[in-house]
Structure formats: C-alpha cells, structure tokens
Chains A and B, each alone.
Chain A
Amino acid sequence: MRKQLIAAAIGAGVALASPAVFAQQDLNFDEYRAMLEDGNPAELYEMEGEELWKTARGPKNATLEQCDLGLGPGVVQGAAAQLPRYFADADKVQDLETRLMYCMEKQQGIDPAEIVNGKFLQGERRQMAALVAYVVGQSKGEKIAVDLSHPKMKEMYALGEQAFYYRTGAMDFACSSCHSQDGKRIRATQLPNITKPEGAAAGWGSWPAYRVSNSQFWTMQHRLWDCFRQQRTAEPIFASDVTIALSVFMAGKGNGAEAQWPGVKR
C-alpha cells in the first residue's frame, strides 16, 4: 500500500513537471496583462508627467510646452511612435529620453549632466521617467513609424545591429544570445525574438513599462541599461550612442506594428 502511494506521488510529480503544464502557466501573464489594461499604474506616471510637462521648472523657469519632439513645438500626440529620429537642430539622432534631455536643457536650463550622471528612479531621471510615460501614452495604439532614410539614422541602425550581435562581458553574451530565437524565456518571462519584426515590435512597443513586481516604471534607457547589466558587461552611459543605436535597431525592425505604450510587466 505504502509503495503504491509513493509511486502515485512520483507520478504526480512527473505530471507537474511536464512541459505542457509550464506552457499553460507562462501564457497566464497575458491574461493578467489584459486584466490590468484598465488599471495600469503607469497611468499614474502619465498623469504626473502631463502635469510636469506644463510646469515651469529649472533655472529658466520655463515649461516644456515648446519642446519639439519631431512633429513641431509642443506636439506630443503621436510623437513617440516616430522616435528615435534625426533632429537637425541638435544634428544628432535622438531617442525620446535624449530629446527630452535636450529640451530640458534648451527650454528650462536643466543641466544634462544632472541626468546623465544621475541614478534611475531618482532626481531628474525620476522626473524624466514621468515625462516619458506621458509622451509615450500619447502614442498608445499608434503604428510605430521610424524614418530610417536619413544617413545618420542608417548609421545608427547599423551600429545598433552590430551592438545587438556583439558578444561581450563575463559570460560572452550578446543581446542576440537571448533575443534571436522564438519561444525562449527566462523563467516565466517570454523573450521576444528581436531579429524578427514581430519580436522587435513586441519589445519596442511594450516598453517603457510599469513592473508590477517592484512597483517601478522603467523607461527604455532603463530597460537597456539593465540588459547590459544582465549581460555582465560595462553599464552604458545614459543616452549614449549605443543605447540610441539599439533603440533605432529595434524600432526600425518593429516599424508598422502598434505600440502598446506604456506597457505593464510582471
């Protein structure tokens, strides 16, 4: 009798460990995300960012309402869907954070070094995250439409592609080690295949996002910084070329897909 019980217990254990059960489990987060759609706490950051956009701040005591995100001064609606882009005034390819930093410097007189040398979730970077939430929220459901035609954009795309496949760090990892196959995951987190348009869109179009597990809102710069950290390599400088290049690569590959900003993550 006892032996039979043990056999049954082992049987149950094997059944639990079977891949079929795991497959069901890892799909559950989509359901959870759907439930959270109406209550994504990232909206709190959006509200904060909208307020901040209209608040006079910095040494020049100005608002960001004249900030040109690429569609003209003050146009926020749909702007994030077309970023990163080449800006003639800065003669640089800029992603959303870099552009906001530029505006904060030019309009408000806030020193970019404060942001570049700062820490995530603190000080001016924390303020910027709220602004990011607001701006991307105004492109929710818009199609990603990054114009790659400018030579500097082409250059950035190529650099991004190179960085994506570049193996480095203590574990000799590249972005592609985790993000170039279908159906890969770390624990229950599905890793999008960024070499394909749908995977790139899934990644690019769902960050910035609110992470439920740590109650933090992460911008794309923050997400990329963490990828480098997970890669066990040198941490990238905030808004440095390599981070923008990777963004151009992802956004360019994801062109045409709908953005789900801001996202919500486990």
Chain B
Amino acid sequence: MASPMRIRAAAKEGVTEVRVLMSHVMETGQRKDSSGALIPAHFITELTAKHNDKVVLSAEFGPSVSTNPYLAFKFNGGAKGDKVAVTWVDNKGETRTDEVQVS
C-alpha cells in the first residue's frame, strides 16, 4: 500500500498555493542492487490535482524525478474550506489520493 502524501494548501488574495510531498521510491530502472541485478523501474507516471471537482493541474512524471518528490504550484481561485485533492498513478498501476482543506 502506498504511503500518504503530505499536502498543504493555503489561499491568499485569490490565489491558492499547494505544496505536496509524496512518498515514493521513484526507482529509475537503471540501478543495480548489491548482487548486480537490475532494480525494476517503479515511478510515478501521472499526477492530477483537483480543486473541488475541477482539475487544476495534470502532469506527467518520469524516472528523472527524485525519491519522495516535492511539488509546489499555484492556481487562481480557491477559498478557505475548499477541497484540494491530489492523485498519483505509478507505472505498476498503484495509485494514491489524498485530500486537504484549503486554509
């Protein structure tokens, strides 16, 4: 099971800033373990962020993104108490969605 994300969303003067910290190994598929065997690739491929039910950000991720990725972005609108939900999907089909209220 995928570990939870840490999401913070704060609205200020009509703009909401969202900061997301994801827990993911982001294995590139290029590395070898101590016995020389290739470690299979395991990384986030897609990320979607929703404000209430509206998609405000969708992104494609790849193996060049670091372990435990951090993402910050802003969108227009959003008020205190609104919901911001972030979902990622990785190349193994695992997925995780976490939701916070805008502060």
Measuring CB to CB, which residues of chain A are less than 8 angstroms from any residue of chain B?
36, 38-41, 43-44, 47-48, 212, 215
Contacts and interface: CB of A to CB of B under 8 A. Distances in A.
B72 A39 contact: yes
A41 B72 CA distance: 14
B35 interface: no
B19 A38 contact: yes
Given A38-B19, A39-B21, A41-B68, 9 more contacts: A36-B70, A39-B19, A39-B70, A40-B21, A43-B6, A44-B6, A47-B4, A47-B6, A215-B66
Contacts of B42: none
Given A215-B66, A215-B68, A41 B3 contact: no
A43 B70 CA distance: 11
B66 A43 contact: no
B23 interface: yes
A215 B67 contact: yes
B86 to A, nearest CB: 14
Contacts of B68: 41, 44, 215
B84 to A, nearest CB: 15
**Chain B residues touching A, range:** 10 to 19
B71 to A, nearest CB: 8
B50 interface: no
A38 B67 contact: no
A91 B96 CA distance: 46
Interface string B41-72: 00000000000000000000000001110101
Contacts of A43: 6, 21
Interface centre among A38, A39, A40, A43 (most CB of B within 10 A): A39
Given A38-B8, A39-B72, A44 B21 contact: yes
Contacts of B67: 41, 215
Contacts of B23: 41, 44
B70 A41 contact: yes
A40 B4 CA distance: 15
Contacts of B70: 36, 39, 41
A40 B23 CA distance: 11
Interface string B1-29: 00110101000000000010101000000
A48 B19 CA distance: 19
Contact of B3 (A36, A40, A48): A48
Contacts of B21: 39-41, 43-44
Contacts of A36: 70
- 5 closest A-B pairs (Cβ-Cβ)? A215-B67, A39-B70, A41-B68, A44-B23, A39-B21
Contacts of A41: 21, 23, 67-68, 70
Nearest to B20: A39
A40 B69 CA distance: 10
Nearest to B71: A39
A43 B21 CA distance: 8
